[in-house]
């Protein structure tokens, strides 16, 4: 038994946590840098938005195949290669900055032969167009984000499946919480890394450091993460983007994840900087951008702490449902506080509650999914959960930003408070339909104990 009543996670899980934390730097480092590079490199604001969101939309298509690959081929190979792809993607940012100006390619285009295509002669101007696109920084940034989406889909699906494989009913919530914490904390660490290193040593240096951490993550995984999920059946249908798990547990947990991320990403992260400017709220004299970063960091820290708390509590109770409902109510209260906040103290309290609600549901929610899902389908179920989360996170900003312009902040924040309650209803309905009770026990899915022993995990 470790500090604060938490058992030390198995060595394999510690390697998973370290890998996802390190690789998360590359996800966050681009955000404080790219928006400012838009004007310098001539990238339009629209293109910056496309680049920043590209990984999420790619992951929306890649999540289900990633989960199916896990169930078909195991966890080790997709996890290691997913981390490696994310490391290569981070190096893509460095390549983007190193691309020469398009005008420097005109002599090369002029030296290429003219080709007659019917009555049309293809000359230097025709050659210059594709060459200029090939060296454009936005092309390489976009390609890097696409690769990041593919890699992160594999990492997310495998990380949760490994945690499920190495857990039993008494540790599943805690292990899911700490894995989610590793994934979550890497992103804000990247935000800090990108801001500090780029200020001290330049943008390229920040991307190189992030790439080094991301590539180190794949080395750690290759060295310390064994196979945990061999099912013995690698035959069957081909893997398709729409091949999601349609079982009740996967759809139920997915709907909860959809509602939480729709509100969390759409109503808080996407609109907070506008809310601060509208209400003239500032910390330490910072502009809205700097102040929003501090509030969001506080939210992430709150979420990370309660990921551990929620997961641990769910492991000590007969059923995980009550703790899940409790944190959904906490999220509801947080958005109500956000709707009426008008000062630094009010907003800080709202962010703490919203972060606690978001984090407190993560461990128990994924543990419940593992409780109710056969081991051979856990990869697909994890991928399905990620699909729902990415839809919610992608639609949230698209819906909330235009509505806030139309009706203001308070009504939208109050409406988002309803989403955790709706998620709670969906949870109860799905659990009752699957198990016949609102309070199912947490003894299902204990086949993971055998996987833990096979992987050499520490008790």
Q: Which of 381, 342, 337, 372 is nearest to 356 (CA)?
A: 337
Question: Rounded to whole angstroms, how far apart are CA atoms 248 and 314?
Answer: 21
Give phi and psi for 220, each to the nearest 5.
Answer: -60, -45
Q: Which domains does the chain have, with CATH numbers?
A: 1-115+123-229 (1.20.1250.20), 244-451 (1.20.1250.20)
DSSP state of 441: B
Question: What CA dihedral angle connects 212, 216, 219 and 220, to 10 degrees?
Answer: -170
Radius of gyration of the chain (CA): 23
pTM score above 0.75: no
Question: Rounded to whole angstroms, how far apart are CA atoms 96 and 206?
Answer: 13
Q: Which two tokens stand for residue 431?
A: 């659990």
Q: Can you give the pLDDT of all 459 residues of the chain as single tens digits?
A: 444 445 566 788 888 988 988 888 877 787 667 766 666 677 776 777 778 778 888 888 888 888 888 888 888 999 999 999 999 999 998 998 887 765 666 666 556 666 655 555 555 566 556 666 666 788 888 899 999 999 998 998 888 888 888 877 777 778 887 787 777 777 777 767 777 787 788 888 888 998 999 899 999 999 998 888 765 455 455 566 566 778 999 999 999 999 998 998 878 877 887 888 888 998 888 777 678 778 887 888 898 889 888 888 988 888 999 999 999 999 999 999 999 998 999 999 999 999 999 989 988 898 898 888 887 777 788 888 888 888 888 788 778 888 888 899 999 999 999 999 999 999 999 999 999 999 888 654 443 333 333 333 332
Residue 18, CA distances (Å) to 5, 311, 388 in order: 21, 19, 26
Tell me what pLDDT residue 351 has.
93
Tell me what pLDDT residue 105 has.
60
Sequence-distant (≥ 6) Cβ neighbours of residue 101 within 8 angstroms:
none
Task: Scan for tokens 């780029």, then name that residue.
Answer: 198
Contacts 24+ apart (CB under 8 A), 293-297: 293/191, 295/347, 295/348, 295/351, 296/188, 296/268, 296/269, 296/272, 296/351, 297/188, 297/191
Give phi and psi for 120, each to the nearest 5.
Answer: -100, 135
Tell me how crowded residue 100 is: count the other CB atoms within 10 A of its CB.
Answer: 8
Tell me what pLDDT residue 455 has.
37
In contact, 69 and 378? CB cutoff 8 Å: no
Tell me what pLDDT residue 91 has.
92
Task: Scan for tokens 């109510």, then name that residue.
Answer: 329
Tell me what pLDDT residue 459 has.
29
Tell me what pLDDT residue 39 has.
65
Q: Which residues of 317-340 are buried (b: 16+ CB within 10 A; e: fewer)?
A: eebbbebbbbbbebbbbbbbbbbe
In contact, 78 and 158? CB cutoff 8 Å: yes
- Rounded to 5 degrees, what angle do the CA atoms 174, 176, 179 make? 110
Tell me how crowded residue 359 is: count the other CB atoms within 10 A of its CB.
Answer: 29
């Amino acid at each position: 038994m470790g500090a604060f009543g938490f058992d030390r996670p198995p060595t394999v899980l510690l390697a998973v946590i370290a890998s996802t934390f390190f690789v998360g730097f590359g996800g966050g480092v681009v955000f404080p840098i790219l928006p400012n590079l838009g004007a310098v490199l001539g990238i339009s604001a629209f293109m910056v938005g496309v680049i920043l969101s590209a990984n999420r939309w790619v992951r929306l298509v890649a999540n289900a195949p990633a989960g199916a690959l896990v169930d078909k081929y195991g966890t080790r190979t997709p996890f290691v290669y997913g981390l490696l792809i994310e490391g290569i993607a981070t190096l893509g940012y460095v390549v983007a900055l190193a691309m020469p100006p398009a005008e420097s390619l005109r002599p090369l285009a002029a030296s290429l032969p003219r080709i007659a295509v019917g009555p049309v002669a293809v000359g230097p101007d025709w050659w210059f167009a594709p060459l200029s696109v090939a060296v454009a920084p936005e092309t390489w940034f976009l390609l890097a984000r696409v690769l990041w989406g593919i890699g992160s889909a594999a990492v997310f699906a495998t990380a949760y499946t490994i945690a499920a494989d190495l857990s039993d009913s008494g540790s599943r919530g805690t292990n899911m919480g700490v894995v989610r914490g590793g994934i979550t904390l890497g992103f804000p660490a990247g935000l800090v890394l990108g801001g500090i290193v780029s200020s001290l040593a330049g943008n390229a240096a920040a991307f190189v450091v992030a790439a080094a951490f991301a590539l180190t993550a794949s080395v750690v995984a290759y060295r310390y993460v064994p196979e945990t999920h061999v099912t013995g059946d690698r035959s069957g249908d081909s893997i398709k983007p729409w091949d999601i798990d349609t079982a009740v547990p996967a759809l139920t947990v997915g709907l909860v994840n959809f509602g939480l991320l729709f509100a969390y990403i759409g109503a808080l992260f996407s609109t907070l900087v506008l809310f601060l400017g509208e209400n003239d709220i500032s910390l330490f004299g910072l502009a809205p951008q700097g102040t929003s970063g501090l509030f969001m960091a506080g939210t992430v820290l709150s979420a990370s702490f309660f990921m551990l708390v929620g997961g641990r509590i769910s492991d000590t109770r007969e059923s995980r449902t009550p703790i899940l409902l409790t944190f959904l109510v906490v999220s509801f209260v947080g958005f109500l506080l956000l709707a009426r906040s008008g000062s630094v103290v009010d907003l800080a309290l709202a962010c703490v509650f919203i972060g606690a609600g978001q984090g407190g549901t993560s461990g128990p929610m994924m543990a419940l999914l593992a409780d109710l899902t056969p081991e051979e389908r856990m990869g697909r179920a994890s991928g399905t959960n990620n699909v729902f989360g990415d839809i919610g996170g992608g639609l949230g900003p698209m819906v909330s930003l235009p509505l806030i312009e139309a009706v203001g902040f308070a009504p939208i924040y109050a409406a988002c408070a309803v989403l955790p309650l709706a998620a709670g209803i969906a949870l109860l309905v799905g659990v009752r339909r699957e198990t016949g009770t609102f309070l199912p026990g947490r003894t299902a899915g204990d086949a993971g104990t055998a996987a833990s022993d096979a992987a050499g995990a520490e008790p």
